[in-house]
Amino acid sequence: MLKWDVMSCNRTFAEEEDEFQTLEETLAIELMMHDNEHGYFAVSKEVRSPRPAYVLHRVGQVVMTQNNMVGVIIGWDAGLRAPPEWNKRKKYPELERAKDTPHYRIMFSGPDSSSVLIGYIPQYNIKLFLAFQVQRNLLHLFPSYNICVFLVVSYGCLDCVLISVCVCLVLQPDIPTLQHYFSHFDGEKFVMEEWLQEIYPHD
């Protein structure tokens, strides 16, 4: 949530103008993150076919970011596709690394039950999770949640079966508007609605 404080009277006009422009840019980027006509942030309706082999994750998969936020992929770009306002906030080495890296549009739960957060995150900053539905006889312990068990994929393979039974319980993402993109959760990933499947036919 953006907060805007009253400016101190001892600040220069240039400082106030710079901060106002920064706020304008932040608001503009936030709006474009949700939808835009330029295809920025993986909102393009262009069909992603063929699918590049270096795009490792798929729409509908549950992922975790480096700061431990769990969300669902709702789109991707084979490389960075963002507006100049976004790019100029990045340090040059970071931008150089990111520009040819797949980026994923990821939906997260917001600070309250009716809000969502949209992230546009490079491939090297997320981990893939595999989800397995918890047995029905455990659900009575958490009646208000849709619970799943997740196993982290490390180096492309799972740990042995004996270790896998000791994984932590985490909540299947309960994100508002997720039903607009997916019909259901099949135990491993969210299944795309037909309109989204047409954009990502190989996911």
The two structure tokens encoding residue 166: 């000791």
Per-residue pLDDT band at 123 (split at 50, 70, 90) = very high
pTM above 0.75, yes or no: no
Query: Is-contact 51 76, C-beta < 8 A?
Result: no
Which phi-psi region, left, alpha or beta, contains residue 127 (left: φ > 0; alpha: ψ -120 to 50)? beta
Asked if residues 60 and 190 have their Cβ atoms less than 8 Å apart, the reply is yes
Per-residue model confidence as pLDDT tens digits over 39-85: 999 999 999 999 999 999 999 999 999 888 889 999 999 999 998 88
Q: Which tokens is 41 given?
A: 């942030």
For the record, the structure tokens of 176 come out as 């508002």
Q: Using pLDDT thresholds of 50, 70 and 90, give the confidence band for residue 20.
A: very low
